Amino acid sequence: MLNQIHSFNKSFNAKSTSKQSLCDSFIPNSHFDRLISPNHTVMVGPRGSGKTTLLRMCEAEALNIWESEQSNEYRSKVDFSGVFIPTDRFWKAQFDRLSKIYKANNLVLKLLNSAFTYHVLECFSCSLVYRALKNKGSCDYKKIELSKEVESELVGYLADLWCVEVKIPSLRGLSIALTMKKLEVSSYISSLSGPVSKNLAPIFVESELISLMDASISIVNQYFGELNEKWALLFDELELAPDSFVQPLLNNMRGGPQNIILKLALSPYHKDVSITEDSFSSMHKQDLSFINLSGVRDDGVEFAKALSNYIFKQENLLKPIEEYFEGFDIDRDKEFEELASNDDSFSDYLKSQKVLGKKYSSLRSTEKDVVRRIQFNVHLRNYHRARRKRPSNYYTGFLNICNILDYNPRMLIGVMSIFASIAKSEGIVKSHKQIECINEYYQSFKALLNTIAVESDESGVRSLYDVIQEIAQYFHQQIHGGGFSPSPKGSITFKNDYNENYMDAIGLALNAGALVIEKNEIDAFQDINNLRGARCRLSYIFSPEYRLLMNLQPPVDLVTILNHKRLKVFNILDSKITQMELNV
């Protein structure tokens, strides 16, 4: 089964999926509703949370291709032309290496900056080609008509502004010229690390990016006959970009050009970048919208149902999705009676609440509230006192599976595709197969976290997974160790100043999805470089392995768990590439 999951996930990655495939399977949600608003937007989420898919669907061409019952409605709502801009991984590696070597060489630093500028211009030019190109069978969304003479004139102005030589005076020719210029700049920069180059540095654009885009868009709008058209620059995976590029983009969200909308996708933690850098920075709900893709459960349920139903329908499985999953029901009276007879601390607690020996049906309303609050805690404690190795069926059923996966779209697609195959052949997904599949995901996630080396003053802590394991074991003891606790600790805060020593490790765990910042609303704000006021929990993917609950529990400071131990993450600059791929 694991091999199936591996191969499926490799095939489903929004960065490499064709526009047609992306549009065919796209299911809009409230995140998309917020993203298409004509406002600057910061979208934050861990790997696999759907940032790339959402941004790509804001492109004019994707909106043109998309066919569904809702697509026309969404096209009418989008009041901008979207330009998707993925971060160039090769450029980022080149920038990190050479900006240190040549930090005193102004020419090299300008060339490094121009490499990114040309990447943005190349993406912009592709959008121009789409808008001016007639396609048979399309709905002509955002299309314009240009005569060859007008197109040639527009290309001439842009080529001069962008310092490129165009062999064919067309928008396609301009796009090709930008690709060649990007290669020329990159090749020259690469040659600097070899023998001293005798070649002259290429002519390149030196303007600041947003100012250059403002001028470019003004020219384009003149020739397109759309003087008030706004263009949305959709920057993806900015955790791969140097801080010196990301911070100015955030700063331009306040008081920037009127014809440019910035929509930025970021990881939950970005150490040296701040959304609220100073009093002149952008302000949430005034200058920008904020979309949090993790830690908000209510919105995730409906999206998970829609996505899973879509996957099951591909296998002609048409019943409500919940009916295909064997689930879990708790027998409160039995569980409470068994644990009370074997656990004096629990028996004493029930006595203190005056419910010992009573049937649930006979309890008063306030007493029932007491029982409901602790029922799953009681179940897990009772279940594992019998030293069972297999996780409880508490972790099974459609909604619980979605909860374990934190409603992560990439994980949901992988898991539900496997479950759809099982349901097609067997009619239902049995509990043991649900547990088996989730365990395989967990093992793959564990392997990923084990690749991130950590140095500690304790010999047993060698990787990021070891850090997560210490947190999980602490929470395990809260439920299963010592005396019964009706309110076991199950989340972490960072109020103690010593936590600053742990932020690199915690940031990586957040960006990988091993930790989740709890939020009540999808637009709940968090600054991406400051976790002092945050409250985190473990991803529920760890719950079956460590026999943990799947609801938000009282917090404990991280220092209490890690006991002031020293932690250092190796290769933190490389590890900042934190939309880490999980081969599941």
Tell me: the pLDDT tens digits for 451-484? 999 888 777 888 999 999 999 999 999 999 999 9
127, 59 Cβ separation under 8 angstroms: yes
Q: Which amino acid is at 387?
A: R
Average pLDDT of the residues in 529-538: 85
- Edge to edge, what strands does the sheet with 40-44 contain? 81-86, 231-236, 260-266, 40-44, 288-292
Distance CA(369)–CA(382), nearest Å, equals 20
Interhelix angle 332-342/344-352, rounded to 10 degrees, is 120
Q: For 208, which DSSP code?
A: -
Distance of CA 4 to the CA centre of its chain: 23
- Please name the residues in contact with 187: beta carbons below 8 A apart, sequence gap of 6 or more: none
Q: How confident is the model at residue 197 (pLDDT cuts 50, 70, 90)?
A: low
More confident residue, 32 or 522: 32
Four-point Cα dihedral 500, 501, 507, 510, nearest 10: -90
Q: How confident is the model at residue 10 (pLDDT cuts 50, 70, 90)?
A: very low
441, 415 Cβ separation under 8 angstroms: yes
343, 485 Cβ separation under 8 angstroms: no
Tell me how far apart the terminal alpha carbons of the chain are, to the nearest angstrom. 10
Residue 257 predicted with pLDDT over 70: yes
Mean confidence (pLDDT) of the chain: 88
- What digits encode the pLDDT tens for the residues 418-451? 999 999 999 999 999 999 999 999 999 999 999 9
What is the percent of the chain with per-residue pLDDT over 70, rounded to a whole number? Answer: 89
Residue 102 predicted with pLDDT over 90: no
Query: What pLDDT, on a 0 to 100 scale, did the predictor assign at position 3?
Result: 43
Query: What pLDDT, on a 0 to 100 scale, did the predictor assign at position 279?
Result: 39
Residue 559 predicted with pLDDT over 90: yes
Q: Coil, strand or helix: which one is 367?
A: helix
More confident residue, 298 or 365: 365
Q: How confident is the model at residue 287 (pLDDT cuts 50, 70, 90)?
A: low
Residue 77 predicted with pLDDT over 60: yes
Among residues 163, 154, 160, the alpha carbon closest in space to that of 182 is found at 163
C-alpha distances (whole Å) from 542 to each of 243, 494, 578 are 32, 21, 20
Distance CA(202)–CA(182), nearest Å, equals 10
Query: What pLDDT, on a 0 to 100 scale, did the predictor assign at position 527?
Result: 66
- What digits encode the pLDDT tens for the residues 338-365? 999 999 999 999 999 999 999 999 999 9
Query: What pLDDT, on a 0 to 100 scale, did the predictor assign at position 521?
Result: 60
C-alpha distances (whole Å) from 353 to each of 195, 356, 373, 381, 485 are 80, 8, 13, 19, 13
3-state secondary structure 324-335: HECCCCCCHHHH
- What digits encode the pLDDT tens for the residues 479-528? 999 999 999 999 999 999 999 889 989 999 999 999 999 876 655 556 66
Distance CA(13)–CA(433), nearest Å, equals 25
Residue 68 predicted with pLDDT over 80: yes
Residue 4 predicted with pLDDT over 60: no
Query: What pLDDT, on a 0 to 100 scale, did the predictor assign at position 457?
Result: 79
Q: How confident is the model at residue 11 (pLDDT cuts 50, 70, 90)?
A: very low
Residue 179 predicted with pLDDT over 60: yes
Query: What pLDDT, on a 0 to 100 scale, did the predictor assign at position 528?
Result: 66
> Of 125-129, 132-136, 279-283, 390-394, which range is least confident?
279-283
At residue 163's C-alpha, the angle toward residues 159 and 167, to 5°, is: 50
**Ranges of each domain in the chain:** 2-293, 332-391, 451-584
- What digits encode the pLDDT tens for the residues 230-253? 999 999 999 888 888 888 999 888
Kindly state the helix (H) or strand (E) to which residue 108 belongs, with its residue range. helix 106-132
> Of 243-257, 400-414, 533-547, 568-582, which range is least confident?
568-582
Four-point Cα dihedral 234, 238, 243, 244, nearest 10: -30
Residue 6 predicted with pLDDT over 60: no
- What digits encode the pLDDT tens for the residues 56-65? 999 999 999 9
Query: What pLDDT, on a 0 to 100 scale, did the predictor assign at position 196?
Result: 54
43, 51 Cβ separation under 8 angstroms: yes
pTM, 2 dp: 0.88
Residue 517: beta bridge partners?
536
> Of 125-139, 172-186, 268-282, 368-382, which range is least confident?
268-282
Query: What pLDDT, on a 0 to 100 scale, did the predictor assign at position 240?
Result: 83
Residue 398 predicted with pLDDT over 70: yes
Query: What pLDDT, on a 0 to 100 scale, did the predictor assign at position 334?
Result: 96
